[in-house]
């Protein structure tokens, strides 16, 4: 009887969720149809309105405070930076893109390309970024004249709902339909999120791998992101002080809530002690073997990360673990490790101010360790190296199954786009088929467009058999 009652309750939740989604979808389709033929200027005005809704200093601060209050994750000051920096950078990228009407002409090929909307987008967003990610995805979707419905994490519902409210006000201000941006109302649950993904034209998922799998099995086109577990090499030619400063800056930003935050370092033997000293000077605390055991017992509970310790301030983390003298002023915590895999918890993503350190005999061994780390967890996502030998970085890019290899950078600030690199700004990093994803680049506006190709004839481009088969015939015969 209990199972029957539970099943009935689940069925009722599914029906109710679908009814809610259907209502949102009707409004989204009306709004999208009204906006589908917007001019490029109208689309750009709408995108700028969305950006300003989060970038405005009072809104950026208030939403950052709400996010930390609601989720207990990260730091207000850093979330303000994330809200403004990501939004500003994405607006820069979008302001330079054409997404309405003819976007490319190739007369030599007889091709003219027209951008068209994909329709209504379902965007699943994580608790780690309950304001920045919804606005980021909405900007990209609206740039292509689409509508978007946000499915927030339950913990981030209040923050995301307020972000959506501000975006809707911004759209109305420029004369665009407010219903271009909506949010799932409470209760936000699996049934509602799945119903949304089944009903929309495209799902874009950042966060839980369960949601990513749900999107891919929804029967509709979907873009998901993979698991991050960033590993970075410090090789013998690195500027150690520069590397340590960037690693600290990246590792401590928003208390390591980013999937791009360094989780492990591999340091070559020749400079190991000097590198550890530089990391200590930058704010790192090297844990003893006993302290490492204390962290492991507390950070993981029943095989899962302890929500009371992840993404917490360093002094609170040190106090709750009971670390020794000197730890209370540290900015992050280093544990030395030798193994990789399920039996070595520190080789996994930690979402905390804990940085795992491996020692390698030379660059070749460091590369092997990095490769093993990727193959264990984080395959396809990204890795990095601090070096003066660009050939070493090139070797990583040529050999490893990874989408991004960052050179002499703070990962959190480089992976998702920067003002001194060519990667587009985003809060969603595709990991290719290596990470179970359909894209191997940073999510950007192009993923929210359909393209119509106008094809006209050109002068015949048909080579002879000799041109195509000649070299083969010479080598292998006919």
The predicted-structure confidence for 347-406, as pLDDT tens digits, reads as follows 999 999 999 999 999 999 999 999 999 999 999 999 999 999 999 999 999 999 999 999
Residue 90 has pLDDT above 80, yes or no: yes
pLDDT at 315 over 90: yes
- Residues 357-367 pLDDT 10s: 999 999 999 99
Say how far apart CA 462 and CA 261 lie, in whole Å. Answer: 51
| Neighbouring C-alpha atoms within 13 Å toward the C-beta of 158 | 11
DSSP 245: H
Q: Which two tokens stand for residue 200?
A: 């929309």
* CA–CA separation, 142 and 139 (whole Å): 5
Q: What is the mean pLDDT of the chain?
A: 96
Are 13-225+443-454 and 230-418 the same fold in CATH?
A: no
C-beta of residue 354 within 8 angstroms of C-beta of residue 335: yes
CA dist 54 and 165 (Å) reads 11
pLDDT band at 13 (very low <50, low <70, confident <90, very high): confident
pLDDT (tens digit, 9 = 90+) per residue, 410-449? 999 999 999 999 999 999 999 999 999 999 999 999 999 9
Residue 1 is predicted with a pLDDT of 55
**Architecture in CATH of 230-418:** 3-Layer(aba) Sandwich (3.40)
Among 171, 178, 173, 130, smallest CA distance to 150 is for: 130
Give 3's pLDDT tier (boundaries 50, 70, 90).
Answer: confident
- Continuous segment of H or E residues that includes residue 305: strand 304-305
pLDDT at 8: 73
Query: How do the domains of the chain map onto residue ranges?
Result: 13-225+443-454, 230-418
Query: How far from the centroid of its chain's Cα atoms is residue 240's Cα?
Result: 28
- Locate 1 and state its tokens: 């009887």
What is the SS3 assignment for 117? strand
Catalytic residues: 259
Which CATH number among 3.40.250.10, 3.30.720.110, 2.70.50.60, 3.40.605.10 corresponds to the domain 13-225+443-454?
3.40.605.10
The pLDDT of 65-74, averaged and rounded, is: 96
pLDDT in tens, 100-132: 999 999 999 999 999 999 999 999 999 999 999
d(CA 198, CA 216): 10
d(CA 151, CA 146): 16
pLDDT top residue among 158 and 3: 158
């Amino acid at each position: 009887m209990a199972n029957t009652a539970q099943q009935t309750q689940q069925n009722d939740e599914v029906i109710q969720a679908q009814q809610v989604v259907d209502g949102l979808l009707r409004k989204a389709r009306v709004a999208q149809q009204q906006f589908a033929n917007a001019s490029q200027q109208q689309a750009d005005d709408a995108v700028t309105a969305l950006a300003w809704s989060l970038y405005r200093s009072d809104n950026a601060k208030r939403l950052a405070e709400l996010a930390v209050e609601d989720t207990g994750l990260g730091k207000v000051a850093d979330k303000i930076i994330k809200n403004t920096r990501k939004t500003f950078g994405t607006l820069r990228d979008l302001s330079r893109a054409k997404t309405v009407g003819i976007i490319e002409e190739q007369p030599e090929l007889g091709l003219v390309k027209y951008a068209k909307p994909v329709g209504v987008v379902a965007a699943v967003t994580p608790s780690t970024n309950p304001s920045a990610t919804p606005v980021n995805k909405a900007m990209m979707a609206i740039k292509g004249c689409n509508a978007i419905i946000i499915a927030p994490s339950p913990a981030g519902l209040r923050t995301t709902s307020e972000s959506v409210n501000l975006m809707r006000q911004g759209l109305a201000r420029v004369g665009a339909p407010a219903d271009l941006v909506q949010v799932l109302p409470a209760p936000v649950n699996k049934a509602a999120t799945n119903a949304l993904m089944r009903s929309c034209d495209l799902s874009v998922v950042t966060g839980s791998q369960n949601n990513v799998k749900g999107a891919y099995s929804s029967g509709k086109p979907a873009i998901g992101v993979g698991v991050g577990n960033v590993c970075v090499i410090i090789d013998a030619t690195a500027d150690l002080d520069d590397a340590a400063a960037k690693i600290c800056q990246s590792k401590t930003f928003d208390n390591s809530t980013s999937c791009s935050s360094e989780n492990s370092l591999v340091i070559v033997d020749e400079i190991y002690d000097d590198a550890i000293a530089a990391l200590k000077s930058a704010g790192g605390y090297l844990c003893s073997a006993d302290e490492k055991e204390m962290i492991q017992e507390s950070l993981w509970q029943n095989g899962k990360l302890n929500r009371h310790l992840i993404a917490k301030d360093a002094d609170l983390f040190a106090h709750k673990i009971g670390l020794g003298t000197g730890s209370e002023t540290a900015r992050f915590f280093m544990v030395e490790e030798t193994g990789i895999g399920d039996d070595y918890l520190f080789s996994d993503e930690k979402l905390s101010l804990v940085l795992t350190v491996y020692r390698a005999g030379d660059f070749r061994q460091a590369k092997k360790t990095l490769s093993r780390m990727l193959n264990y967890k984080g395959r396809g996502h990204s890795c990095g190296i601090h070096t003066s030998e660009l050939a070493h970085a090139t070797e990583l890019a040529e050999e490893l199954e990874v989408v991004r290899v960052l050179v002499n950078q703070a990962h959190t600030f480089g992976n998702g786009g920067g003002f001194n690199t060519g990667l587009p700004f985003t809060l969603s990093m595709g990991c290719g088929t290596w990470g179970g994803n359909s894209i191997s680049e940073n999510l950007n506006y192009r993923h929210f467009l359909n393209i119509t190709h106008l094809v006209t004839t050109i002068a015949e481009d048909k080579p002879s058999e000799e041109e195509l088969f000649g070299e083969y015939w010479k080598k292998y015969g006919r």
